[in-house]
Structure 1
Amino acid sequence: MDIQTAIASFSAFAQETRLMAFRLLVRHEPEGLPAGEIARQLSIPHNTLSTHLAVLERAGWLTSHRQGRSIIYRANLAHMQTVLDYLVRDCCAGHASICELPSASRCNDTINL
């Protein structure tokens, strides 16, 4: 990851609804949620949410697939790990064990999402 990609990624979270949607989807991994359910849980109009989900997907934070008439969205945990790795790549004067981050599979156990 380069700095421009990191900036584009972070800028997607510079809006409350997008951050809330991503956090919701992280909590619903690995199944994901249909767009309508995301809108319902966040109390956001469908058309407004669609715009936010598109921004997150373009930035790499989400993936989507069609299931019947619904579009199912999932948090892209691989992208999240890549961004976290980028943030701490040079931390702690080369002593990576000091800066060790929880793996995506342990997030719910160690981080209050």
Structure 2
Amino acid sequence: MMKTRQAIKLCSFQELPEMIGQVFSVGGEEITLFRLTDGTVRAIENKSPHPKGGILSEGLVSGHFVFCPMHDWKISLIDGKVQAPDEGQVKVYNIEVSDGDVKLVCEE
């Protein structure tokens, strides 16, 4: 069975500030986009896996990581994994940048 691929435009690349999370709601999910200093755009869910939560769009970005603003957990923007000694994972979304637009890529 063939997978269908859909790309949903979220914003233009130029609208994304560097190193500051921008929140988008897609299909009832809150997704945070981060434009990194190397020009890549990463997308993760906007909720820390910490039991008490935390809004990741408000976190400090360093390299390819975001730090939970409430508990200082270091979370990879590449694979969503929380770095040791803490444990957990956030959902990571596929993003493509084409024709100056940032798009969320969904495959079903």
TM-score, with normalisation over the residues of structure 2? Answer: 0.26
Which structure: larger Rg?
1
Please state which structure has a larger fraction of its residues in helix. Answer: 1
TM-score, with normalisation over the residues of structure 1? Answer: 0.25
